[in-house]
Structure 1
C-alpha cells in the first residue's frame, strides 16, 4: 500500500476540492518537487481541515488527482474494484450490443480516477497509463479489473515519459495474445485493430457518433474529402453511407496501407476510392489549382502537428484551415469541423468558424454539434476532460 502524506494546500485548491474539482493543480501547492509519483496525499486546507485524498501523478498542469473525500477510505485493490465495477455497469448497453464491440470502459476522472483509461476491443482490454503515478498502482488495478470482468487478454499503453525504457513489445500484459488485425464492430461496420502496434490501435473511439451521422445522413450520393485521415475511418463510413467517392488525405506513408485495409475488411471496393499520401495543406493548394470541389469535407486535425513545410496549431491556425476547406466546398456542401484541443471551448471554436466564413465571403449554418459519446464519461467540474468539439457546418 502506498504511503500517505499529510499536506496543506492553498486556499484556491481547497475551494476547488470542496466543489469536487478532480484535478490537483500544481499552483495549489507550496512546493511539489519532493512529491513522489504514486504517493497518496491527505489534502488539508491552510487551517488543517481534511478535504480529500489524492495521488501524485504528474500530467501537464496537474500534479495529481483527487480520489476520495472520505478520510477513512483506503486506496487499495477494493477501492479500484469499486470504481471499475461501477464504470462497467454504466456501459451495460455497450456490452450487450452486437453492432458495436469496441468502446471505452473507464474514462479517467469522469469515472473517478484521473490518469487511468480502459478501452474494450471484443474481449480484449487496453489500459492506458497517463503518469508514473497511476502506473505505480498497476498490480492493484489489474487485480481489480480481473475481479470485475472476464477477458481474452489485457494490453497496456504507457502514455508518459518512460525515458526510452518502454518497448512496443511490452504492450501485452496477460491472458492470451491477440491475433492481429483484430476485427471489431462499430455500428455494424468493421475496423481492423492492432493492440500491439504502439500508441495508436487503428481507430479513435471518441468519434463513433460522428461517423454514424456521416454515414446515415450526409454521405448518400456525395463526394467526400477526409483530411488528416489516419486509417480512413470517416471514409469507410461515408462509403458505406453511399458516397459516390471518398478521398482520404494524410501525410503518413502508412496511411495508404492502413486505409486500404479498413475498406477491405468492410468489402468496399478500394479502387473506387482515392487514398492520397500528401501533406493536407499541399493538397488544398492542389485541389484549388485543379478546380476540385467536394460535397462533404471532413477536418479532424491533431491539436498540434509539424511537417517539413508547415507547423499547425489548432488554437492558432484552425481559421485558416477552415478557409482552405471553404474554398473547395460545393455550395450547400457540408464541412465537418472537429478538434480535440482541450485548451479552448465550443464558443471559441465557433468563433473560428464565423471568422473563416466572413473572410471567405460565404454564409453558413451550423446544422449539428457533437461532443464526446456516452461511454466517454466526463466530470462537469473538469471542462478540459470534455475535449471533443465537432460541428456540421452547411456552407451556403
Structure 2
C-alpha cells in the first residue's frame, strides 16, 4: 500500500484547520510544490508531525485543495463518497416528498463534506458540477457512489474549471436517458423550463427559491415590478403568481427574451402583455429616468462580475451606484429587493453598501426582511464564504 503524501500546515494555519476551516490556501501550507497532480490525496500535518486531516489537491478560486475528513484511518474511496452522498440525500428527504418543488440541490460542496462538488436534482435528472480538476479526478468513484444510493432518469455534468487556460468543451450528458429540451420543473408550484445540455447555466438559479417565494407571497399583488438582470424571468414569474399588475424584464443577453417568454407561457402569463427589453441595465435606468417611469418593486440580482462593450460591473465596487440608480426610479414606499451572490463580503458589509446608497440618494430605508441560502444549500459555519447569498428587502421612503 502506497503511503499517503504528508504536507505540513504553516504554524499560523493549524488552529484554523483544527476549528474546521475546509479550504486550503497556498500560504497555509509548507512545501506546496510537492503537490503536482490534481486529485492527489494527502495528509495535512502540524509542523510537529501530528495529523490534522486528509485533503485533496485541487486548484479552485483562491484555494489549492479541500479537507475531506479529520479521521486518520478513513480511506478516500467509493465507500467514502457513498457515505457523504447518502447523508446528503437523507437531509433532503422533505424536498423529494414535496410535489410542488422538483428542482433543488442535493449536494452543496463543503457544506455536505466535499468541497469543489455540487449536485442538483431536476425532476428525475441529476446535474453534477465539478469546480476543479482535483475533484474531477474522483469522477468515476463519485458517479458510482451516486448510482449506489439513488435512482435517476439521466446524469449530466458541468466542468467549471479550466485546463491549460481553456474551459473543457463537450457534451454535458453522461449516461441514462437524455432529458427533453426543455425539461419542465416545479418550484413552489411554479413551472420553469431548464436546459441541462446548453452551457454553464441551465435556466434557473436554485439558491434564489426563497427570495422568489417571498416576492410572490408578500410583495407582488397589484404592483408594477422591474426585474433587472432578469436572465430567464424567474422573479417575474413569481411576481405574476403573486398578482402583479405588470412586469418589465431587462437583460443584455439576446436570448433572454425568448427564455422569459417561454417561462411566462408555461405559467399562463401572456408574454405580449409584458415588457421585455434586451439592453444594458444601466442604460435602462437612464431611459426610465428620462421618461419618468417608476416602479413599486425593483429586483436587483446582478452577477458578481460582468462586462459589456461599454461597462464593467463588479459587485464589490459598483453595487452602491447600482442601488442609487434603482432608488431614482422606485416609487415612494416601494420595495427594492437587493441581492448579491458575491462571497467576498458578508451581510454586514452588504448592508453598509445599502446604507451608503440610501444616504447618497437622500432617502430613508426600512429593511422588511433578509433572505439567505435555502435549506438545500447548507454551509459550514467555519467557512463564511460558503454563506454567499444575501437578499435584502428594502422599503424606500422619499
What's the TM-score once normalised by structure 1's chain length? 0.98
Task: Give CA-to-partner distance per residue, 1:349-378, whole Å, 9 cap, x none.
Answer: 111111111111111100000110000010
Q: How does 1:1-396 map to 2 (within 5 A)?
A: 4-35=4-35, 36-163=37-164, 164=166, 166-169=168-171, 171-396=172-397
Shift of 1:165: 6.8
Contact in 1 for aligned 2:300/2:337 (Cα 8 Å): yes
Structure 2: how far apart are the matches of 1:313 and 1:342?
12
Contact in 1 for aligned 2:8/2:31 (Cα 8 Å): no
Structure 2: how far apart are the matches of 1:12 and 1:230?
43
Structure 1: how far apart are the matches of 2:2 and 2:23?
19
Q: Is the partner of 1:67 in helix, strand or coil?
A: strand
Q: Is the partner of 1:11 in helix, strand or coil?
A: coil
Q: Is the partner of 1:12 in helix, strand or coil?
A: coil
**Residue-pair matches, total:** 395
Shift of 1:16: 1.3
Q: CA RMSD in A?
A: 1.2
> Which shifted more, 75-84 or 4-13?
4-13
What's the TM-score once normalised by structure 2's chain length? 0.97
Contact in 2 for aligned 1:2/1:38 (Cα 8 Å): no
Structure 2: how far apart are the matches of 1:301 and 1:229?
9
Structure 2: how far apart are the matches of 1:231 and 1:4?
47
Structure 2: how far apart are the matches of 1:7 and 1:224?
54
Q: Is the partner of 2:316 in helix, strand or coil?
A: helix
Shift of 1:7: 1.5
Structure 2: how far apart are the matches of 1:232 and 1:31?
49
- Structure 1 segments (4+ residues) deviating >4 Å: none
Contact in 1 for aligned 2:51/2:72 (Cα 8 Å): yes
Q: Is the partner of 2:378 in helix, strand or coil?
A: coil
Contact in 1 for aligned 2:53/2:69 (Cα 8 Å): yes
Contact in 2 for aligned 1:13/1:24 (Cα 8 Å): no
Q: Is the partner of 2:200 in helix, strand or coil?
A: coil
Q: Mark the runs of 5 or more structure 2 residues left unpaired by the alignment.
A: none
Contact in 2 for aligned 1:101/1:185 (Cα 8 Å): yes
Structure 2: how far apart are the matches of 1:8 and 1:62?
16
Q: Mark the runs of 5 or more structure 1 residues left unpaired by the alignment.
A: none
Task: Give CA-to-partner distance per residue, 1:6-64, whole Å, 9 cap, x none.
Answer: 11111122211111111111111223244120000111100000111000011111100
Structure 2: how far apart are the matches of 1:218 and 1:186?
18
Shift of 1:266: 1.1
Shift of 1:271: 1.4
Q: Is the partner of 1:145 in helix, strand or coil?
A: helix
Contact in 1 for aligned 2:7/2:32 (Cα 8 Å): no
